[in-house]
Amino acid sequence: MATATPHHRAGRLTTLAYLFLLLSQNIAALLLLPLVLISAILTLTWIGLPFVILTSSLLRTLADSQRRTLTHLNPKNPLHSAYRPLPPTGITRRGTTIITDPATWKDLLWLISAVPSLALLTIPTTLLLHGTYHLLHLLHLTGPALYDFYTPTTPLQHLLLLTTALTLLTTGYLLLPPATDLYTRFNRLLLAPSEKARLTARVAHLATSRANTIDTQAAEIRRIERDLHDGAQARLVALGMNLGMAEHIVEQDPHTARAMLAEARETTRHALTELRALVRGIHPPVLVERGLHGAVHALALTHHLPITVTIDLHGRPADPVESAAYFAIAELLTNTAKHANATHARVHINHGKDRLVITITDNGQGGADPTNGTGLIGIQRRLDAFDGTMNITSPPGGPTIVTLEIPCALSSPKTSPSSETA
Amino acid sequence: MRVVIAEDLALLRDGLIRLLQAHDFTVVAAVDNGPDLHTALTHHKPDVAVVDVRLPPTFTDEGLQAAIAARTHIPGLPILVLSQHVEQLYARELLSDDTGGVGYLLKDRVFDIGQFIEAVRRVADGGTAMDPAVISQLLARQDHKGPLAQLTPREREVLSQMAEGRSNSAIAGRLYITEKAVSKHINNIFTKLNLPPSSDASRRVLAVLAFLNGQ
């Protein structure tokens, strides 16, 4: 819930630029208003429903764009939307969901309030424009007559005109911040989702992420079971058989028994190699021994590319967070090696605002698509369990920058800033 | 030869004791945790120590830390570290004091008793014994920079054999070349890595260290 907007954080010029953006959004809102009203009337018959779906999607896009602008004006107090998720199919069901969503009605209120909002923004803007016009006229940069009917001739008239111009400009300039402030407060109030809507959206998100987490874990456990069953377990059976047979024939045929024992030793070695790979996939030992710090350095050392690792953590995140972060980094670096065609990568880890922030950059060809590839979706799912986010910037031609953020606290203050190229 | 053993699993500890005693080692202490290991190392000053990386009380890299700490008190104290997994990071840390007398092997290597005992003896003599798994990880990297990039593929092969701790004649046998050719390769490696003339053993350690650092 956004309540108050502290006084203009951005400079006056920036505020002015945003002002024009807000103005254009409000003008668009005014244009949309009749369309919405028409579709509202049409809803009385079934024909209106497709219109409602169409106009509401336009309305939501517009409202969201204003939410983003208002967030830019005051980034500390972000404004999110919280609409009920729409059913994927069925015009009636979609239409009903939209109409019964209180957020729709709040948006409508915002749309109607575009008129007073526009007036609020127009006052300082008009004053400034007129002041500038007067000033330009004084400098003989406009036509001969002011507003086409009045031409100042005497010095006194010029002085009067100058006074008017300065008064207009000053008033406009002074009014600009309070008008924007009032506008921001008013619109934030209308655009902020209600507490109930916010919580509903949150619950829906948690339900999805919980289901994903359970799915991911179940799949992991199945994989481990299969690996143990087909790998180490099977090898131990073979080992026992070999040993049993060797024991049986050791006196009659020591030579064959000896060969069988050697085979048994080899089987043990294979089983150990498999178990080692399995353990690494579950929870790498170096992560237990050295934490995220050591594990990421160890990872960089054995990677195919030179990787610069900088870690600035005062303490350690909880074990599950370390593990998720480690596997995400490992997966992303594997992707870099496989697809990016890069010659160098960087991993930066720090902690701020109660979040673990991991940035992975490479100088490759870019074009990574977060919606494509099971690896990236897997990372997103892992992070979802912690309310973490993944952000990928990868324009064609590169570079690729992936930012992971995981909300978490750090335990046991232990300074370990370090930087190393592997 | 006097040896200290640190291993927390009784089964493995007893196995190691039996194995080493059978090969004319005198086990002066067999401990099962980090603090005891540190005391045993500084008190007995053994000819060689065989140490498990993970030990109580923290069950992290307690054994490795105790070994590195003991080597700062007694430079060059020969230590062979055993582990269920190998990390290049640890290999680097073990070798970083340039004094040699360091081994780092997977526990499976104990299966081959002849080679294992040879590795323990080599480490006691101030040599190195790096696990082939560490070496193969290094060779998988295609992007060696600096002096290492100047090595020919053959020289790199010789260097990785050196890192595992093989003598010139053993390397010659492995690569099917003459001992003379091996020593020529090794001299080229020393020159290319800019290693100042000093005792052959310490130059070998420095070369291996350069290799591990990927320089």
User: Are A217 and A137 contained in the same domain?
Assistant: no
User: Are A139 and A208 contained in the same domain?
Assistant: no
| pLDDT tier for residue A5 given thresholds of 50, 70 and 90 | very low
Mean pLDDT calculated for residue range B74-101: 88
Whether A272 maps to a domain, the answer reads yes
Mean pLDDT calculated for residue range B99-115: 89
Residues whose CB is less than 8 angstroms from the CB of residue A281 and which lie 6 or more positions away in sequence, other chains included = A224
Q: Does residue A278 carry a pLDDT above 80? A: yes
Cβ atoms of B89 and A294 closer than 8 Å: yes
Residue among A302, A333, A341 with most chain B CBs within 10 A, to mutate: A302
- Looking at A250, A265, A282, the residue that finishes a domain is A282
Cα dist from A346 to A253, A406, B201, whole Å: 60, 19, 36
User: Are A302 and A257 contained in the same domain?
Assistant: no
Q: What is the CATH number of the domain that holds A236?
A: 1.20.5
pLDDT at position B140: 67
pLDDT at position A7: 44
Q: How many domains does chain A have?
A: 3
Whether A79 maps to a domain, the answer reads yes
pLDDT tens track for B38-52: 999 999 999 999 999
Q: Residue A204: in which H helix or E strand, if any?
A: helix A195-228
Cβ atoms of B5 and B30 closer than 8 Å: yes
A298/B contact by beta carbon, under 8 A: yes
| pLDDT tier for residue A268 given thresholds of 50, 70 and 90 | very high
User: Are A278 and A367 contained in the same domain?
Assistant: no
pLDDT tens track for A105-121: 888 888 888 888 888 88
Cβ atoms of A356 and A323 closer than 8 Å: no
Highest mean pLDDT among A36-40, A263-267, B95-99, B199-203: A263-267
User: Are A233 and A320 contained in the same domain?
Assistant: no
- Looking at A259, A282, A305, the residue that finishes a domain is A282
Chain A nearest CA to B145, separation (Å): 9
Residues 106-135 of B with CB under 8 A from A: 106-108, 111
Mean pLDDT over each residue of chain B, to the nearest integer: 87
Whether A1 maps to a domain, the answer reads no
**Partner-chain residue, chosen from B87, B108, B140, that has the shortest CB–CB distance to A286:** B87
Identity of the residue numbered A160 = L
User: Are A79 and A209 contained in the same domain?
Assistant: no
Tokens at B34, concatenated: 């980090």
**DSSP β-ladder status, B79-83 and B48-52:** parallel
Question: What domain range is A392 assigned to?
Answer: 289-419
User: Are A21 and A120 contained in the same domain?
Assistant: yes
Identity of the residue numbered B27 = V
- What global pTM score does this model have? 0.71
User: Are A95 and A27 contained in the same domain?
Assistant: yes
Dihedral through CA A250, CA A251, CA A252, CA A253, nearest 10? 40
B142/A contact by beta carbon, under 8 A: yes
Partners of B84 on chain A (C-beta within 8 Å) are 272, 276, 279, 285
Q: What is the CATH number of the domain that holds A314?
A: 3.30.565.10
User: Are A239 and A269 contained in the same domain?
Assistant: yes
User: Are A36 and A179 contained in the same domain?
Assistant: yes
pLDDT tens track for B9-41: 999 999 999 999 999 999 999 999 999 999 999
Partners of B143 on chain A (C-beta within 8 Å) are 304-306, 343
- Looking at A282, A313, A347, the residue that finishes a domain is A282
B143/A contact by beta carbon, under 8 A: yes
A303/B contact by beta carbon, under 8 A: yes
Asked if A343 lies within 8 A of B143 by C-beta distance, the reply is: yes
Q: With H, G, I as helix, E, B as strand and everything else as coil, classify residue B151.
A: coil
User: Are A303 and A353 contained in the same domain?
Assistant: yes
User: Are A23 and A102 contained in the same domain?
Assistant: yes
Mean pLDDT calculated for residue range B128-155: 76
Q: Does residue A35 carry a pLDDT above 60? A: yes
A280/B contact by beta carbon, under 8 A: yes
